[in-house]
Amino acid sequence: MAHAFAMASLAPVEHVTLLRRIVHAAFTVSRPELTTRVMGLEFPNPIGLAGGFDKNARRARALSALGFGYLELGTVTARAQEPNPSPNLFRLPADRALINRLGFPNEGAHPVTERVQRIRRAIPVPVGISIGKSRSVPLDPLHGVVADYLASFRAARAHADFVVVNVSSPNTAGLRSMQGQELARTLLGAIAEENATGTRVPLLVKIAPDLDDAELEALLDVVCECELDGVVATNTTIARTGLATDAAAVAAIGAGGLSGPPLRARALQIVQRVRTRIGPHRALIGVGGIESADDALAMMRAGADLVQLYTSFIYRGPSIVRSLATALADATAQSGAKSLAEFTRSSWPAS
């Protein structure tokens, strides 16, 4: 209900050009130190909206007016699908965290991407589209999964500045098995091959924070073999450790992906390991528990080019983007660096 209310409240900004311009002027921080260039794209600032908030691209113009440096829309699937049975979204206020088991509800890749096409000129920042597996498509035989992803990819790349392959949501049965080396090689290789024909777009894969070291290294080997452009690290976690919320209340909620501050430390570790493995030239988007400029700086010093918000955007509201952007620009200026990238990349781990 809260999410529906928030989306409804953004409707006037989405549809009224003058109001959108007023909001953009009030919320957007235009500082040259924040401009970030990666994947052949220019981002006015490195703070993006994570996939999952605007699954159907219904509020993309309004969200860009709130000062985000880029948007990741979706996740979309080739076949339209409803949410998993409710209740499927929960707040843990004591942890400023969320648990969700929505499961990629969306109107389908073609309707959503066609909507993006209609409004794209009114979105002044790069737009990524996340693609996932349709729930109704079985994992076996694998060629069905590949065909399903390729259908979404073809729709997405026509209208996106970059595409993110989501193989890490815990809310679609069996999806995370696609992070296994052989399955990942088949799927990501097929999408990369398709991407090499026609109009090529930057292609990234979104990974789970729950991979162990060997699984992570094996998956990153595939990223390099398939010459993907980058990694989004990380998705939500199935872990429930270190929570302030009563354990019985958490257990009563049941399955789903946990996001917010409890994920931060693990996401930071994953970002550092990913940067070490993929080197300095592939893109890395860090996401997981970012609430402050210090959190964003830590993620970027660990190896992220860009960062994303989701849970903190819900808890703190739209002013968080302006707050983080201002603090990041001020910190960069105080450091004497010419850009935020120069300020943070000197701390990146050695490859």
Active centre residues (catalytic): 169
SS3 (DSSP) at 325: helix
* Cβ proximity of 340 and 332 under 8 Å: yes
Closest CA to 61 of 107, 118, 111: 118
Please report which helix (H) or strand (E) contains residue 257, including its range: strand 257-259
DSSP-derived secondary structure letter, 210: T
* Cβ proximity of 268 and 302 under 8 Å: yes
Q: Which two tokens stand for residue 102?
A: 């929505």
Residue type (1 letter), 341:
A
- First-residue to last-residue Cα distance in the chain: 45
Residue type (1 letter), 334:
Q
SS3 (DSSP) at 65: helix
Residue type (1 letter), 78:
A
CB-neighbour burial class of residue 208 (10 A; exposed 0-12, middle 13-18, buried 19+)? buried
Contacts of residue 155, Cβ cutoff 8 Å, sequence gap at least 6: 76, 78, 109, 110, 112, 113
Q: Say which residue the tokens 């090499």 belong to.
A: 196
